[in-house]
């Protein structure tokens, strides 16, 4: 059944009796909780396109301003029309967290307190909270307690930050100070990357002057896992500084690289091993899934997201580096009016590529305190069980093919019968995805995987509960039934 597209009543909020410049903070609170409370009754797809939203917001810069509450009312009236319901229980579109209310509330305080979290002298609270939260993160992720954690905007910057430390460290071993002298004339670094690495890794390599294309590709298997013997063979042919970039949680399949074998090959060559674990590293919070990551704790650096499985709002990722000194050297900012480089207490901006920065650790601290170790474990366990259940239900339907081994929270699916060629399968799969988007009960994504076009179901939003597995499976099966009943769908004989 198609749900109503109307946004429902949104009373404009006024506090005309006692006008006060802080009223706007309460207005935001009322608007936010009204939106989140009503979301489950709304269709799980955006109502307006980007072009439409440009129209909605189009107006010249006002000559004179207005009061904050009416500006906020206006933002809500217009803005809510073009929101994608990413915090909805039926949202499986991309690998994103669900901006849990606690994380959002802590994020509001981050802004309201107006702290510049660059130094512990500028904001003792911000720096102390980051320091405590970093210990908790290392603990829940079972990573070395001595590692440094930089609170960054997301895993892309997490990869960048950790790889900057890697670049400096491997060149230092070769007698070159890249952090101060740059890369011109430096000994070349060989960067090994699996064929199914996340695209953001290549961006990070580009920012670092290591080149998006100047990488040595390592073959991967049918699940997207790096093949360790191929890595070992390629490494045997080369000397010199080397960085190996591995992955915990392939963006389509959820698969994990074989870390123990990779580390053995890499460490005999004295290479730096970095792990892009944006969402997959959270598997370490659950004893049943931790074995998928065995050996990963021996790597040199890791990038992880808070705004995925930990459910903080966006603007939350971590660059984790075992050797604090390498991270400091890569990220420190030195000036007479700033604290001295080399200080032992936490200086947040020496761990990230920022000077003025928000107190980004607060939502992480609040989420970890709210969930506790058991809560994080349960979250991971619940989502993985939901993914398995969806795969099991839809995988038994005729013409539905679950393409990956569902080891984590990711299910990729293609639709069609053996008689269909890949072009026809792509058309059928795309038709199922658009039908689901039109119906608006769940939101799923699409992607290319090998020779197939697949539907992607990413189970990672904190609002998603076990019952949503049944709903999602019913919706997918009935969308496929409708698509395959169309005369245009090529039917297998009989």
Ligand X SMILES: *Cc1c(COP(=O)(O)O)cnc(C)c1O
User: Which residues form the interface with ligand X (CB under 6 A)?
Assistant: 95, 154-156, 198, 200, 249, 251, 276, 278-279, 305, 317
Residue 95 CB, nearest distance to ligand X (Å)? Answer: 5
Cβ contacts of 463 within 8 Å, gap of 6 or more: 40, 87, 88, 89, 91, 98
Nearer to ligand X, 156 or 326 (CB): 156
Q: Which is nearer to ligand X, 278 or 380 (CB)?
A: 278
Distances (CA, A) of 430 to 90, 157, 230, 415, 457: 19, 32, 35, 9, 14
Report the chain's terminal Cα–Cα distance, integer Å.
31
Nearer to ligand X, 347 or 461 (CB): 461
Smallest gap from residue 79 Cβ to ligand X (A): 22
Q: How far is the CB of 155 from ligand X (least distance, A)?
A: 3
Distance in angstroms (rounded) separating the CA atoms of residues 351 and 324: 8
Q: How far is the CB of 97 from ligand X (least distance, A)?
A: 10
User: How far, in Å, CA of 362 to CA of 313, rounded?
Assistant: 11
Between 43 and 254, name the residue whose CB sits nearer to ligand X. Answer: 254
| Residue closest to ligand X, measured at CB | 154
Nearer to ligand X, 43 or 158 (CB): 158
Interatomic CA distance for residues 180 and 177, integer angstroms: 6
Calculate the alpha carbon distances from 357 to 115, 142, 347 in Å: 8, 28, 12
In whole angstroms, the minimum distance from the beta carbon of 313 to ligand X comes to: 12
String of DSSP letters for 327-381 = HHHHH----TTSPPTT-SS--GGGSSS-SS---THHHHHHHHHHHHHHHHHHHHH
Q: How many CB atoms lie within 10 A of CB 332?
A: 16
Nearer to ligand X (CB atom), residue 80 or residue 300: 300
Cα(115)–Cα(121) distance, rounded to whole angstroms? 11
CA 184 to chain centre: 33
- On the CB side of 390, how many CA atoms lie within 13 Å of its CA? 38
- 73/246 with CB nearer ligand X: 246
- Shortest Cβ distance from residue 317 to ligand X (Å)? 5
Nearest approach, Cβ of residue 308 and ligand X (Å) = 6
């Amino acid at each position: 059944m198609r749900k109503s597209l109307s946004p429902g009543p949104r009373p404009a909020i006024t506090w005309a009796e006692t006008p006060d410049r802080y009223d706007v903070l309460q207005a935001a609170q009322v608007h936010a909780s009204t939106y989140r409370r009503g979301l489950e009754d709304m269709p799980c797809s955006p109502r307006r396109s980007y072009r439409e939203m440009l129209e909605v917001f189009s107006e010249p810069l006002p000559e004179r301003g207005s009061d904050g509450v009416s500006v906020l009312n206006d933002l809500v009236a217009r803005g809510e029309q073009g929101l994608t319901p990413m915090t909805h229980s039926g949202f499986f579109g991309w690998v994103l967290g669900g901006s849990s209310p606690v994380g959002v509330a802590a994020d509001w305080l981050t802004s309201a307190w107006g702290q510049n979290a660059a130094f512990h002298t500028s904001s003792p609270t911000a720096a102390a909270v980051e320091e405590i939260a970093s210990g908790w993160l290392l603990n829940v992720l079972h990573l070395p307690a001595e590692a440094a954690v930089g609170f960054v905007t997301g895993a892309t910057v997490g990869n960048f930050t950790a790889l900057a430390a890697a670049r400096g460290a491997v060149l230092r071993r070769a007698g070159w100070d890249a952090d101060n002298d740059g890369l011109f004339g430096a000994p070349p670094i060989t960067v090994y990357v699996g064929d199914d690495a996340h695209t953001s890794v290549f961006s990070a390599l580009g920012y670092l002057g290591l080149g998006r294309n100047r990488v040595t590709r390592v073959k991967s298997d049918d699940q997207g896992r790096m093949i360790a013997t191929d890595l070992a063979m390629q490494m045997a042919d080369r000397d010199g500084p080397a960085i190996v970039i591995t992955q915990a949680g392939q963006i389509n399949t959820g698969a994990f690289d074989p870390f123990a074998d990779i580390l053995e090959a890499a460490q005999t060559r004295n290479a730096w091993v970095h792990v892009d674990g944006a969402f997959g590293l959270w598997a370490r919070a659950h004893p049943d899934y931790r074995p998928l990551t065995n050996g990963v704790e021996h790597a040199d650096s890791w990038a992880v997201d808070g705004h995925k499985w930990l459910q903080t709002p966006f603007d939350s990722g971590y660059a984790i580096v075992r050797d604090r000194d390498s991270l400091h050297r890569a990220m420190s900012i030195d000036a007479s009016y700033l604290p001295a480089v080399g200080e032992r207490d936490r200086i947040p901006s020496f761990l990230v590529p920022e000077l003025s920065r928000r107190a980004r650790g607060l939502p992480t601290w609040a989420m970890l305190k709210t969930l506790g170790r058991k809560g994080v474990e349960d979250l991971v366990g619940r989502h993985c069980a939901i993914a398995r259940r969806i795969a099991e239900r839809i995988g038994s339907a005729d013409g539905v093919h679950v393409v990956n081994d569902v080891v984590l929270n990711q299910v990729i699916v293609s639709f069609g019968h053996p008689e269909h060629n890949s072009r026809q399968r792509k058309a059928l799969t795309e038709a199922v995805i658009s039908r689901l988007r039109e119906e608006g009960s769940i939101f799923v994504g699409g992607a290319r995987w090998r020779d197939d076009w697949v539907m992607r179901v990413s189970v990672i939003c904190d609002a998603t509960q076990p019952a949503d597995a049944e709903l999602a499976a019913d919706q997918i099966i009935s969308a496929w039934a409708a698509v395959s009943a169309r005369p245009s769908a090529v039917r297998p004989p009989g």
